[in-house]
Amino acid sequence: MNEINQYLLEHYELQIQVVSQSDEAFYTAYGCYADIDYDKEICIFIGGGGSIELLFVKNKEVVEQKYYDFGVVDVTNQFPSLKEDYNTCSFDEVSDYVSSLIGDLPYTCDVLILAGGDHLYWYNNARYELGENMLYHSEKQKYMISITQSDNYDHDALKTSLNRIRENSDNPLWFDGSRAMKIITNTISHKIDAKYIVPTKINMEDGLLEKIMEERKRLVVNFESIGKFSMVK
C-alpha cells in the first residue's frame, strides 16, 4: 500500500486511504441527516453482506452507535431457502433469529432511514409503491412508507415469487440477499418502534460530499470575513 500511495502521490498527487467501519458508518449517516430539517430522533440503518451499523441521531448529533458482525449473507446462509423462488422458512422464524442477534436497542425513533445500499432498487423491482416523504425535504430522501405498509410489503416478500422480481431487474443475483435484508430492517423497525421507513441510496460518498461542501462554505465565509476586516483596517 505504501508503494502504491507513493506512486499515486508522485504522479497524480493522490493517496489511498483505508476507511474504518466506524468512519464509513459516520459519513454514510452524515449524508442522511446533514441536509434535513428534522429535530426528532431518527435511526439510520447501514447494512451489508457481513455487517450492520445503526446510528441514532437527534438534532443532527449522533447519540448512540451499534455495530454488528453479521449481515444479509450470514442470515441467508442460515436460511438458504430465502434466495430460492419460494422460501420454506417462515418470516417469524427468521425474524426471531435476527432479533436474537440484535438484542435490545437503547432508543425509540419515529423514523428509520435505510442507507448504505440501493434500498430503492428492491421496492422498484418488486413493484411496491412508495409515498412522498412528508416528514422533511431532501432530494436524496424523496420517499417514505408507513410501518403498516412496510409490514405488508416485507411479509409479502416471503410469499411472492422471487424469480418474478428478478425478471424485472438488470441484476438478478442482487436479490439473493434481498429477503434477508427486508426481515433485518423489519425487525429493527419494530425494536425501535418506528412509524415510518425512508428507503434511500445514500452511501459514504454522499456524506463525504456534504463534508467537502461544508468545508468550502466555511473557507468562503472566513475569506470574506478577512476581506471585510482588511477593508475596515
Residue 1 confidence (pLDDT): 62
User: What's the rounded Cα separation, in Å, for the pair 148 and 33?
Assistant: 24
| Strand partners of residue 143 | 132
Residue with cell 502521490: 9
Asked whether residue 14 is assigned to any structural domain, the reply reads: no
The string of pLDDT tens digits covering residues 185-201 is 999 999 999 999 999 99
Amino acid at 74: D
Is pLDDT of 163 > 80? Answer: yes
CATH of the domain at 116: 3.30.420.150
The answer to whether the CB of 154 falls within 8 A of the CB of 182 is yes
The phi and psi torsions of 105 (rounded to 5 degrees) equal -115, 145
Within 59-177, residue ranges assigned H as helices are 72-78, 91-102, 119-126, 147-157, 162-167
Asked whether residue 231 is assigned to any structural domain, the reply reads: no
Domain that holds residue 166: 20-207
Asked whether residue 121 is assigned to any structural domain, the reply reads: yes
The string of pLDDT tens digits covering residues 165-181 is 999 999 999 999 999 99
Residue 54 confidence (pLDDT): 97
Q: How many domains, the chain?
A: 1
User: What's the rounded Cα separation, in Å, for the pair 33 and 185?
Assistant: 19
Helix (H) or strand (E) holding 174: none
Asked whether residue 215 is assigned to any structural domain, the reply reads: no
What are 9's three cell numbers?
Answer: 502521490
The string of pLDDT tens digits covering residues 87-129 is 999 999 999 999 999 999 989 999 999 998 899 999 999 999 9
Asked whether residue 12 is assigned to any structural domain, the reply reads: no
The string of pLDDT tens digits covering residues 55-74 is 999 999 999 999 999 999 99
Asked whether residue 203 is assigned to any structural domain, the reply reads: yes
Asked whether residue 198 is assigned to any structural domain, the reply reads: yes
